[in-house]
Amino acid sequence: MTAVGIIAEYNPFHNGHAYHLAQAKMLTGAETAVVVMSGNFVQRGVPAVFDKWQRTSLALEGGADVVYELPFAFAVQPAHLFARGAVNLLARAGVDTIVFGAEHAQLDFLALAKQARSLLMSNQAFRTDYTQTYATVFNDVLAQATGERLSEPNDLLGFAYATAVLELDLADEIRLLPIQRIGAAYHQTAITDSQIASATALRDLMQRRVSAHEYEAFVSSQAAGLLSQGPQTKEWSTDWYHLLQYKVLTTPVEDLSTIYQLNDGLAYRLKEQMTRQTDADYQTFMTSFKSKRYTWSRLQRTLLYTLLNIRQQEMQQALDQPYLRLLGASKTGRAFIKQQRKHVSIPVVNHVTHEDTTGILTLDYRAGKLYELMIKQPVRQAMDTGRIPLFTK
């Protein structure tokens, strides 16, 4: 059996994702679509609108055959680490092609990555220019070297996937196949297409609590019902932020500075700004906390690391211990997993044990417990322990 790989967040799953899955199978001739999907938190450092189990169910309904969880250590990271973790897992799972959406699918992302690799490694601007974000400096260097600027989010991720393929020495094993993104743009909040709305637009509708009927053109009936109920967790900018305030205000700055990425004086800035603005709302605080050196997403991720009390050593250990956590599979997907079983060289987790929660799943288990704490309705099942993969026919 052949398999095509897809990297996703599905926050939430919609018709554009179903189109992507169908095109991936059609263009590659693969029998199985293997998805590596972010867990309960997404790359921007905020909770997913639905937990990983609900999103897995929607993905299987929409055409995925296998859904593995992208561990927290990779999922809540900048593009290069997000991509490296996901590409590595898909390669270990046994796929030979990774299909991804791109705003400019005609680009040869692997060729660009090869051109830029040595230049980016040798350029000192990344370490000396703190007046601009990494992405801005990166694009200046890339444009100088190749004549291309990658400003669109899916193009940037495509470049990150290509770079990961090179860094992991997988160029002879993994083919990258971009497909043209159709319908709404990634961050577009306006709905201009009759069948495809961006995840951003759907999340915007969720905040307005519109009826299930409003979603039916863009998602399945199962998804429409979930979306009409609004996000699964309490509001990040209020309930989650209050927990963060307590954490920061009651923790000595010396301890805060040991949190992953709260370095280079950022811990002192965080403590100072939050102490000075105890009555400020989240938006006001973030506006004052942000600087030209850091993007909003970078700081949001750092605040989540702070809330979860993740230390540098813990994160490094997690990054060095990849594993495949199965969330769900179709009948075809289960046949593929059985076929590949002898070839998988990293741990595979189907049932989470106590040993897992204190070992390779430490960060995911901790993140799951935080997500459970912030769910609006009483938790019926834990995010990890006691759960088994979702199997469909």
Distant-in-sequence, close-in-space partners of 178: CB < 8 Å, separation ≥ 6: 99, 100, 101, 102, 105, 107, 109, 158
Q: Which residues pair with 175 in a beta bridge?
A: 97
Residue 362: its H or E element: helix 362-373
Residues at the annotated binding site?
7-20, 101, 154, 181-182
Give me the half-sphere count of Cα atoms (radius 13 Å) on the Cβ side of residue 117. Answer: 15
Question: Which tokens in the block code for residue 45?
Answer: 């450092």
Q: Which residues contribute to the annotated binding site for ATP?
A: 7-20, 101, 154, 181-182
Tokens describing residue 393? 């026919």
Structure tokens at 124: 């000192």
What are the distances in angstroms from CA 297 to CA 45, 234, 293, 385?
7, 20, 12, 30
Token digits for 54?
């609900």
Q: Which residues contact 128 (CB under 8 A, 6 or more apart)?
A: none
CB 185 within 8 A of CB 212: no
Contact present, 233 and 375 (Cβ < 8 Å): yes
Q: Can you tell me whether residue 168 is helix, strand or coil?
A: coil
Phi and psi torsions of 311, nearest 5°: -95, 160
Q: Report residue 21 as tokens.
A: 């899955």
How many CA atoms are closer than 13 Å to the CA of 344, on its beta-carbon side? Answer: 19
d(CA 50, CA 56): 10
The four Cα atoms 15, 152, 324, 304 give a dihedral, to 10 degrees, of -100
